[in-house]
Structure 1
Amino acid sequence: MTRLFLPLIAAALVAGCATAPQATSTAPVAAYRDTIELAGRISVNYQHNGNPESLSGKFDWVQAGQRVDVTLSSPLGQTMAKISVTPDAATLTQTDKQPRTAKDIDSLTRETLGWQLPVAGLRDWMQGYATAQDGSRYTASPANPTVTTRDGWRLRYVSWQDGTENSAHPQPKRIDAERSATPTSDELAIRIVIDPPA
């Protein structure tokens, strides 16, 4: 995917339009759900063999209990990779290639795509939750939009779904996630923009 995907993708993902300032809600997001279906856009900036790389495209996310299925597509909608994650294993399938399986999705995506897709974190992040550095449960709100997670990701909830910022349970729209380089992984920045609910 690292070489097949890159020529087909745009260089950057454009954020939504600015809106007039409004009162900022302090209300937390809705209760966590084990079963969700989300779609949107993803933009990734990462290092590959010491060189900066970037990609953008679309994603579909289907979560049912402990299973997560993710489809990554080019900006034009061509399926580039399918990822299935269960508590026992992770499988990644690319176009015209044999499926690859590993114990965890982090190592599988890093080896196959050249960057790590943090599926375990995204299960929480896309619903406005995370595990903070001190191990406590973080709940996002427009008034409390940033956190550093226990595994070193810096999250920022940049915007909220139209009409929900001042509602009782605002829903995330754009999430920026960044992680500094470590001895076992390179610097990585991921931007997620979630489509409005159907």
Structure 2
Amino acid sequence: MIKFHSPLAALAASFVSFAVLAGCATPSAPLSTAVVAPYQAAIELNGHLSVNYLKDGRRQAASVGFNWLQTANRTDVTLASPLGSTIAIITVAPGYASLTEAGKPPRVADDIDSLSAQTLGWTLPVSGLRDWLQGHAMAADGGPFAASPAHSSVTTRDGWQLDYVSWQDDGAAVPRPRRIDVARAAVGGLEDMQIRIVIDAPAAP
């Protein structure tokens, strides 16, 4: 066993060891600049999301699975518990939103943001997610954003921070999002919240 006779000698040896290891490390490959596919009006996705939010001064959390079905003028979302039982069914169309909890009559409002906040306790930003789940958004400067592994973060025009953390296939010619972290700070009466979204890979044909 090698014994160091002073802290300075031990520090110097540690530095040399680190330098050797750093010199042997393989540099990471550059991130792909390939962008997501053009926006599609009609898609169907499955996945799960976890929400961490501040409500009445208390930090709370929820985890749900989801089925997402959208067409040009309608979005249908089914939220399920970790055990698979339906928690809520959401329908959104222009000027109309409904949320039906299991065993309860539907609740209707003009927009799903306020309706989900009142019913679930946290906001599900459906109108934004129609774009975000595909890797698209309207940036804070008003310009369109299309995500890529090399360009994976944006702040949207309505104040959400999007981070595309991982992809279904990092090396794909047309990457598709796998994990998206969505966050909004508490500003102007809106409560602080973070949503982690994981999209399931499509089943093999």
Shared fold (TM-score, shorter chain, > 0.5): yes
Q: TM-score, normalised by structure 2?
A: 0.83
Which of the numbers 182, 191, 201 marks the counterpart of 1:177?
A: 182
Which residue identity does 1:61 align to in structure 2? W
The 8 Å contact of residues 23 and 166 in structure 1, kept in 2 or not, is answered as: no
Measured in 2, the distance between the counterparts of 1:110 and 1:76 equals 23
Counterpart secondary structure, 2:34: coil
Equivalences for 1:147-162 in 2 at 5 Å?
147-161=154-168
The structure with the largest alpha-carbon Rg is 2
Equivalences for 1:36-185 in 2 at 5 Å?
36-161=43-168, 164-185=169-190
| 1:24, distance to aligned residue in structure 2 (A) | 1.7
Which residue identity does 1:179 align to in structure 2? R
Between the two structures, name the one with larger relative contact order (CA 8 Å, sep ≥ 6): 1
1:27 paired with 2:34, answer yes
Which has more helix, going by share of residues? Answer: 2
Q: Which runs of 5+ in 1 are unaligned?
A: 1-20
What is the percent sequence identity of the aligned residues? Answer: 55
- When structure 1 is superposed on structure 2, of 42-51 and 130-139 the one drifting more is 42-51
Extract structure 1 runs of 4+ deviating beyond 2 A: none
Name the counterpart of 2:193.
188
Give the aligned CA root-mean-square deviation in angstroms. Answer: 1.0
Name the counterpart of 2:14.
none
| 1:95, distance to aligned residue in structure 2 (A) | 1.0
Counterpart secondary structure, 2:131: helix
Q: TM-score, normalised by structure 1?
A: 0.86
Measured in 2, the distance between the counterparts of 1:69 and 1:76 equals 21
Counterpart secondary structure, 2:195: strand
Measured in 2, the distance between the counterparts of 1:36 and 1:174 equals 17
| 1:23, distance to aligned residue in structure 2 (A) | 4.0
The 8 Å contact of residues 152 and 179 in structure 1, kept in 2 or not, is answered as: yes
